[in-house]
């Protein structure tokens, strides 16, 4: 059904928070009808993180090599999702320079040193307005794009996932309160040739917009962006290509094309 499209962001059992076997992902990709997928398991650089040290490059790469060699009908590529933190940039650079990946997504999962889920729970508990406290999150996204380490910016506007009011935080909300910073991030993506990921994982948890929300994607279009990459951030085999039909239609309605980013 979506043979022309890939899923650029898929986790497997090489991620600390997924149990998907590669064979199951292949089966699911055939079932939903995508042209293939990029394995983007989590690589963490903060020793205090639960996933730190979990990803083993050699094992993951060997397993990818084997599965792709017996799956000629699908394009399966080997990537990573890096948790970007400003203070870890040197370690991340060294890591990426000494290893081969087809596609690397830079994602911000922290506000300062704190994981976004913990941060959001804490600020909402203390009734700190979300309008005021997420500047450092978008600053970190800008730093990720400008670092020149990544092929794509992952799930921009991710904090909405962990808010009690989640789906109310639409692209319009983020643009209203963080528009200046978001414009900087999106402009940097265009200047640096970093792909903007449209991540449909939101649709599995009750949202009606991807990451980032539609208003941010409209801004991207206005600033000259013409194409995005599409992903589901699948943590289970059945999550592959979540809401692809609806999102492909809406992107097209908004004048945005979808590119496949790996050869």
The count of residues interacting with Zn ion (CB under 5 A) is: 3
Scanning 16-24, 48-56, 135-143, 226-234 for contacts with Zn ion by CB under 5 A, the matching segment is: 226-234
Shortest Å, Cβ 11 to Zn ion: 6
> Is the Cβ of residue 63 or residue 81 nearer to Zn ion in the bound state?
81
**Could you tell me the smallest distance in angstroms from the CB atom of residue 242 to Zn ion?**
12
Is 115 a residue that touches Zn ion (CB under 5 A)? no
Q: Judge whether 104 and 82 are in contact, CB under 8 Å.
A: yes
Strands 195-199 and 34-43: unpaired
- Residue 2 near residue 37, CB atoms below 8 Å: no
The reply to whether 232 sits near Zn ion by the rule CB under 5 A is: no
Write down the least CB distance from residue 86 to Zn ion, Å: 17
Q: Which residue is nearest to Zn ion (CB)?
A: 107
- Which of these segments, 69-77, 102-110, 136-144, 165-173, binds Zn ion (CB under 5 A)? 102-110
CB-count exposure of residue 218 (10 Å: 0-12, 13-18, 19+): middle
- Report the C-alpha gap between 163 and 117 in whole angstroms: 8
Least separation in angstroms between residue 253's CB and Zn ion is 26
Site for Zn ion in 185-214 (CB under 5 A): none
d(CA 67, CA 76): 8
Q: Which of 107, 170, 202, 242 binds Zn ion (CB under 5 A)?
A: 107
Smallest gap from Cβ 47 to Zn ion, in A, equals 19
Q: Which of 63, 115, 157, 233 binds Zn ion (CB under 5 A)?
A: 233
Minimal distance in Å, beta carbon 126 to Zn ion?
Answer: 25
According to DSSP, the residues that pair with 2 across neighbouring strands are: 34
Is residue 81 a contact residue for Zn ion (CB under 5 A)?
yes
The residue among 40 and 170 lying less far from Zn ion, judged by its C-beta, is 40
Output the six-digit token pair for 229: 């990459």
Phi-psi region of 154 (alpha: psi -120 to 50; beta: other; left: phi over 0): beta
Q: Which of residues 31-60 bind Zn ion (CB under 5 A)?
A: none
Q: Which residues bind Zn ion (CB under 5 A)?
A: 81, 107, 233
């Amino acid at each position: 059904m979506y043979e022309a499209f890939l899923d650029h962001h898929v986790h497997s059992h090489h991620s600390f928070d997924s149990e998907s076997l590669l064979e199951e992902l292949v089966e699911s990709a055939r079932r939903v009808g995508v042209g293939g997928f990029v394995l983007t398991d989590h690589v963490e650089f903060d020793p205090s993180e639960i996933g730190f040290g979990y990803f083993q490059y050699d094992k993951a790469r060997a397993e990818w090599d084997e599965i792709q060699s017996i799956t000629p009908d699908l394009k399966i590529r080997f990537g990573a999702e890096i948790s970007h933190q400003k203070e870890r940039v040197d370690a991340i650079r060294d890591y990426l320079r000494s290893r081969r990946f087809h596609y690397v997504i830079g994602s911000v999962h922290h506000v300062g040193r704190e994981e976004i889920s913990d941060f959001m729970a804490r600020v909402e508990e203390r009734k700190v307005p979300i309008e005021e406290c997420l500047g450092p999150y978008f600053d970190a996204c800008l730093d990720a794009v400008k670092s020149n380490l990544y092929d794509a910016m992952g799930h921009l506007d991710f904090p909405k996932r962990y808010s009690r009011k989640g789906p109310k935080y639409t692209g319009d909300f983020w643009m209203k309160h963080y528009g200046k910073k978001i414009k900087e991030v999106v402009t940097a993506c265009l200047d640096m040739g970093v792909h903007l990921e449209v991540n449909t994982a939101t649709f599995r948890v009750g949202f009606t917009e991807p990451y980032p929300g539609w208003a941010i994607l409209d801004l991207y279009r206005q600033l000259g962006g013409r194409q995005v990459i599409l992903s589901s951030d699948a943590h289970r085999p059945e999550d592959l290509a979540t809401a692809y039909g609806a999102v492909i239609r809406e992107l097209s309605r908004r004048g945005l094309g979808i590119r496949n980013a790996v050869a």
